[in-house]
Amino acid sequence: MRAKRIIISGGGTGGHIYPAIAIASAILEIEPNCEFLFVGAEGKMEMEKVPKAGFQIVGLPIVGINRQHMMKNLLFPFKLFKSLSQAFSILREFKPDMAIGVGGYASGPMLIAAWIKGIPFVIQEQNSFAGITNKFLSSKAQRIFVAYPHMEKFFPANKILYLGNPVRKDLIDPSGKKELAIKHFKLQAGKPIILIIGGSQGSRTINLAIQAGLESLAHAGIQIIWQTGIPFENEALDSVSKCEELSAYVSAFIYEMDLAYAAADLVISRAGALSVSEICLVGKASILVPLPSAAEDHQTQNAQSLVAQQAALLVKDSEAKNSLVKQAIDSISNYELITQLENNSKALAKPKAAHDIAQHILDIVHIHEK
């Protein structure tokens, strides 16, 4: 009997890519002989990240719709048609038993092609606000795996499984690592630590707010672990070097996220689906600064979902420069608030998400092979 073959399509940001890799890894733990082919968008970060994780990937020429400059969309129909044509070729050559869409540009053409060819597919929606493509395809999907409750306003209720977002295994239990983490980042024990993360690209809004508030953080006795993204790294390092009282670790990208979370007493972050899921999984208090230009403003929806359950605080992007650091200093000194946010965020975690999604996918594959 030949190995099961599964296509995983999507990407564009870490919030789509890392859950996809987590699902594939979880499937391999259950059925090690499965074969995978990832399908991404040419020039996007999945074309680099997926091979590093040990999986094969091919790229489609698909691009997103530019909502700010409609004239830039003139080539979109041609690239969509070419992507659909290539998607059909991929299906003919790879002969998958199942397709998984995780969101991002490549997900649409690949799932449309799978639907037309009668190949079963599932959708994994990371956000609390569903995208246009996923809503359009939802009635054709076998299952829709969601990370937030009340998603029946977007999808057929009988197809929804509320299982959470898959995350990297090393984050599932960061407990007991705080002492090691503090040493790793060369910080001091006994002083509060704020972890600042802006997503895989870094956040200019958050970076500028932190830069403006370095002296205030130092005077409050607060240490920082600051993930800046590549464009802002040198500027951040220069600013920190001029603030001699501040203990800080600055890097464009943090690879040891388990240690970063273990060290942190408070997290400042964008509200992408992956970041929110990780914060809940590790049970950390957080201040979320949603990216207002995200598609359908889904980051604000993600953040408000946690705020409504007293599991996070929210600072608007437009208000971050003046209020973010003050909010952080006030919050980190409020033990009752921090404890409440930690407990409520932890209660929303779904630590078995990757395994549960993988098992449901394999169940569907086995049903269709009979």
Tell me if 13 is assigned to a ligand binding site.
yes
Would you list the DSSP string of 158-173? Answer: GGEEE------GGGS-
CB 138 within 8 A of CB 161: no
Say yes or no to pLDDT of 350 above 70: yes
% of residues, the chain, pLDDT over 70: 95
Query: Domain-by-domain residue ranges, the chain?
Result: 5-167+351-369, 173-347
- Of 104, 113, 161, the closest CA to residue 298 belongs to 104
Decide if 5-167+351-369 and 173-347 have a common fold: yes
On average, the pLDDT of the chain sits at: 92
Please tell me the CATH superfamily of domain 5-167+351-369, with its number: Glycogen Phosphorylase B; (3.40.50.2000)
Say yes or no to pLDDT of 51 above 90: yes
The residue with greater pLDDT, 62 or 162, is 162
% of residues, the chain, pLDDT over 90: 75
CA distances from 243 to 18, 25, 228 (A): 35, 43, 17
Calpha distance 300→278 (Å, rounded): 17
Tell me if 15 is assigned to a ligand binding site.
yes
The two tokens of residue 199 are 């997503």
Q: Lowest mean pLDDT: which of 71-75, 123-127, 164-168, 363-367? A: 71-75
What average pLDDT does the segment 78-89 reach? 92
173-347 CATH fold: Rossmann fold (3.40.50)
Tell me if 5 is assigned to a ligand binding site.
no
Tell me if 11 is assigned to a ligand binding site.
no
- Place 131 in a pLDDT band, splitting at 50, 70 and 90: confident
Tell me if 172 is assigned to a ligand binding site.
no
Give Cα 229 to chain centroid, integer Å. 15
SS3 state of residue 81: helix
Tell me if 127 is assigned to a ligand binding site.
yes
Burial class (CB in 10 A: 0-12, 13-18, 19+), 344: middle
Tell me if 254 is assigned to a ligand binding site.
yes
CB 157 within 8 A of CB 167: no
Say yes or no to pLDDT of 68 above 90: no
How much is the pLDDT for 114? 97
Residues 175-206 have pLDDT tens digits of 789 999 999 999 999 999 999 998 767 899 99
Say yes or no to pLDDT of 173 above 90: no
SS3 state of residue 237: helix
Calpha distance 19→14 (Å, rounded): 8
- Of 254, 322, 319, the closest CA to residue 292 belongs to 319
Residues 144-172 have pLDDT tens digits of 999 988 899 999 999 999 999 998 777 76
DSSP letter (8 states) at residue 151: G
- Radius of gyration over alpha carbons of the chain, in Å? 21
Burial class (CB in 10 A: 0-12, 13-18, 19+), 66: exposed
Q: Using DSSP, how many helices (H) and how many strands (E) does the chain show? A: 15, 13
What average pLDDT does the segment 123-151 reach? 91
Tell me if 272 is assigned to a ligand binding site.
no
CB 264 within 8 A of CB 332: no
Tell me if 278 is assigned to a ligand binding site.
yes
- Of 264, 282, 269, the closest CA to residue 193 belongs to 264
The count of other CB atoms within 10 Å of the CB of residue 183 is 12
Residue 32 belongs to what H/E stretch?
A: none
The residue with greater pLDDT, 18 or 338, is 338
Tell me if 299 is assigned to a ligand binding site.
yes
